[in-house]
Amino acid sequence: MTLPTLALTTASCDSGAAEVGFDRASRYGIFRDLVWFEWRDRHGGFFLDLFESTQEDWRCYRAALGERVEQTDAFLARWSMSGVDDALPVVGVDLDDARAFARWRFGRLPRWDEWKYAATAHHNYQLPWGNLARTEYSNSEELGYKSLTPVGMFESGRHADGPFDLIGNAGEWTETVEFDWSAYAALYVIDVELQRDPGIDGGLSRRLHAVASHPALAPWWNTVVPLPAFLATQVEPEGIARKVTGGAAEPMLGTDASHPVDPRRMLPTERGSLVGVRVATDADTLLDALLAQREAPSPSDEAVLRRFLDRNRSHLAAAWNARASRAHGPLAAILAAELGP
């Protein structure tokens, strides 16, 4: 299958690129593409990146950590079935990788309910574009491409000015733990099988058995039905599977055809050649991250940040007012000027 090509202007990790197209890979570049979702039921709303995080985004992140270009290229080549291309989504990241990258970009990972809210156009449709499953609208199982495409290719596959590729292409980590007992039990059985091989550390069953000795949770334990995830996470949250959005290998509608793709379930240490990351944030998380920054931004980064703050003053003002009296650090003056008084 031949897909249309997408013109891509890559960015420098040193910032300074114009605020157009995909020139967004530097740390502050995230402020070019954060989309606000108003949601009164969830403390006002949240931001979601317009695009899945790209290989170019990942390069800039790893360069900031001091990683050699050769190491980054080797990682990208190992995990991307579509090759190394700045416009492709980065894949092969585990939960900690995804979290660390999101923090570097002043954000966090989305929750499943946030992703679903965005992917159903504010709960108005079954899919971002409407209720009809259209093969040509996303790089999902129906398209039959079975590989990654550059981010942002499917213009028709989004709602209004909403994010691209919420359906299909790379799956995306969320922070949400699986609460469904039957699905969780299936993971438990798989992990018990892994435990029979001493050379494999499945991890999940060890953590479940740790619950059995926990003073507060032991009364809930039984040997027939595994403890539900929301209790197990009280003991050791890093050993419990998270929901991952569907990618190119999954159908665009869920099994009951009433909601977008069913989530995959992955343990935090798992990696996948079709699983990447999209950055989310909210007013509180974002402002705390900016105030924690200890280095002043470059003039071009400051300009991008100021434009973002100006566009989103109404969404950030209340959270800023709760912090203004104790705010300090190199970004405090910028925040006060844009979100003041």
The predicted pLDDT at position 9 comes to 45
Q: How confident is the model at residue 239, as a pLDDT?
A: 63
Backbone angles phi, psi at 276, to 5 degrees: -130, -140
Residues 6+ apart with CB under 8 A from 337: 306
Residue-wise pLDDT tens for the chain (341 aa)?
545 444 344 455 765 444 444 368 899 999 999 999 998 776 789 999 999 999 999 999 999 999 999 999 999 999 998 999 999 999 999 999 999 999 999 999 999 999 999 999 888 888 999 888 899 999 998 888 889 999 999 999 999 889 999 999 999 999 988 655 444 444 444 444 444 444 434 445 555 555 555 555 555 555 455 555 555 555 555 667 889 998 888 888 776 655 566 788 888 889 999 999 999 999 999 999 999 999 999 999 999 999 999 999 999 999 999 999 999 999 999 999 999 87
Task: Count H helices and E strands in the chain, helices first.
Answer: 11, 7
Q: Where are the domains of the chain?
A: 27-176+242-281, 181-239, 283-339
**Per-residue model confidence (pLDDT) at position 105:** 97
Query: What is the DSSP code (8-state) at residue 231?
Result: H
The pLDDT score that the predictor gives to residue 14 is 62
For 27-176+242-281, CATH gives 3.90.1580.10
Q: How many CB atoms lie within 10 A of CB 6?
A: 12
Strand ordering across the sheet containing 171-177: 264-266, 242-244, 171-177, 275-276
User: Rounded to 10 degrees, what is the CA torsion of 289, 47, 116, 83?
Assistant: -80
**φ, ψ at 334 (rounded to 5°):** -65, -45
Instruction: Report the 10 Å Cβ neighbour count for 255.
Output: 9
* E-assigned strand segments in 128-261: 171-177, 242-244
Locate all alpha helices (DSSP H) within 176-235, ordered by sequence. 181-195, 204-212, 229-232
User: How confident is the model at residue 17, as a pLDDT?
Assistant: 44
Residue 249 φ then ψ, to 5°? -95, -5
Q: So what's the pLDDT on residue 246?
A: 85
- φ/ψ (deg, to 5) at 307: -65, -40
Q: 266 - beta bridge partners?
A: 242
Task: Report the greatest alpha carbon distance in the chain.
Answer: 62
The pTM of the full predicted model, rounded to 2 decimals, is: 0.82
DSSP single-letter state for residue 169: S
Neighbours of 268 (CB within 10 A): 18
What is the C-alpha to C-alpha distance for residues 50 and 279, in angstroms, rounded to an integer? 9
pLDDT at 123: 86
Distance CA 30, CA 28 (A): 5
Rounded distance between C-alpha atoms, residue 239 and residue 201, angstroms: 11
**Nearest of 80, 68, 88, 76 to residue 22 by alpha carbon:** 88
- Is residue 117 within a helix (H) or strand (E), and if so which, with residue range? helix 112-119
| 48 membership: H or E segment, kind and range | strand 44-49
Q: Is 132 exposed, middle or buried, given 0-12, 13-18 or 19+ CB atoms closer than 10 A?
A: exposed
CA 13 to chain centroid, in Å, comes to 21
Give me the residues paired with residue 281 across strands.
47
